[in-house]
Structure 1
Amino acid sequence: MEVILVSLQSYGGFCAVTYLSFAPQGLKQVLLTGGIPPIGSGCTADAVYRACFEQVMHQNGKYYRRFPQDVELVHEVVALPGGILTPRGLQLLGLSGLGSSTGFERLHYMFERVWDPILVPGAPKRISYFFLNAVSSEKYLKLLPYEGWLAYDTNPLYALMHESIYCQGASSSWSAHRIRAENESQFDALKAVKEGRPVLFTGEMIFPWLFDEIQALRPFKDAAHLLAEKMDWPPLYDVASLNDNKVPVAAAVYYEDMYLTGHGNSFSNCRNPTVG
């Protein structure tokens, strides 16, 4: 029976191309929106994250040009001694703050009210309830302040399986973590504060330390490391089938997409006149 497969989100596009590879007879037409997967041998995660880190740096530049006053505010938060709000945890706010339609404004308004009003002259600054509530919600104030924005308490599989969607017969080996290390001079928050540069937020990347620092992910730590080293992932796509595709396909991609930027050998590189 023929069906119409409509992909409304990025990973849905990946799934649609897998169907086109191995079960095209079940499809009448395919609509891809913001989800054209990288296609290549082995694990393509490294190519994906190299491109994504470049786009994340571009988004950071746009954010700070729009709200230059936030450079100092973020510096002040990063420089706080100790506490549960770590610099690398704070940088995770870029996942939503730099990539969603109103993310810049949400991130800015949150930092605009980061401190409690000082009512007694000379009193030390304290992070405001508003800031903690904005990034976590009242329900989760007992957790790390940024956990609410990331919603790992309700969506742990997002973190657990994130890099495996790029793997075919090879492991990801914590790809985002390794690629960040290649760019650590730009993403080292403490170094940025010391040098007077803007602290860069990160984007849609999963790091191994999340499974230590985020309470909702701690039970999955061992499984996460096993998945990161897993080698025997089955094929995700069949290039020969895609090149011979007869199913009409239409794709829409987003301008300056921080989550799925152009990378490697994508589906659009397949020699297929039916793809529009």
Structure 2
Amino acid sequence: VDRDSGEVKIRSYNKFFNYGERHVNLGYLHKYATYPIRVFKKYNGFLGLASIINGNIVLATKSTTNGTYKDIFQSIWDKVEDSVKELLKQIMIENNCTAVFEVVSPEYDPHIIKYDKEHLYLLDFIENKLDIDTHNIDLEFSENLMKKVEFSSTILTKKELVTKLENYDELYHFLDEKAKSLEEFEGYVLCDNSGLMFKFKLPYYMLWKGRRTWLERYRSALSKGKKIEIKDIEKDENRHFKKFLLKLGKDKLQGLSIIDVREMYEESL
């Protein structure tokens, strides 16, 4: 928000949650969700925002226009084709809105899911105003602009629509199926017809997110010379992975991402 004029200059989503967090459960969705529900693939990066200030494109993360993550976003954005950047700029100027991206940088910001190359995914357009008048996004506003933005780029693509769910039964069966899925990516973002959004993170992602926490905890403890014990009551697979971390030792664990450790662990099985 401009400190002098009070105008909104860059705008992200209203915050939304993962299925099972806060109020997002079957009971709530059965009562309030409207159809069709659009299901999009969720990418494992960080949120990047682009808007126009004084005629220029300004990039930001969720909370700042400076810092390491903004610089990572900037370095990838600079490689996007000029024609694509100009098209997005005109859309943002004409509609006073922010373009929202998922920023994937396997070299500088590895998360849990492995990517072979850096990429930007165009997620939505959000009008630059304080209240977007709906739940998490003005769906009609974003969809209309997404349809207008047609381009070909090697480094920037639109988010992938996976399917549409037409009623509660289809939603129920989708969530039930994905809770047992072996798919090896982060998950899905679901958006109902009124702009209500929530995430559904897959078991594979949640498993390795937990193991990343163990990796960080073990690395910290080992670096301080603390003794770590594996409790017998833990699940066999978890205990096996934790023993693998201890076997690697503090020297090998330093500097490794959870992706590196996962590949080493899977090779050892």
TM-score, scaled relative to structure 2: 0.24
TM-score, scaled relative to structure 1: 0.24
Greater relative contact order, per chain length (Cα 8 Å cut-off, separation 6+):
1
Structure with the largest fraction of helix: 1
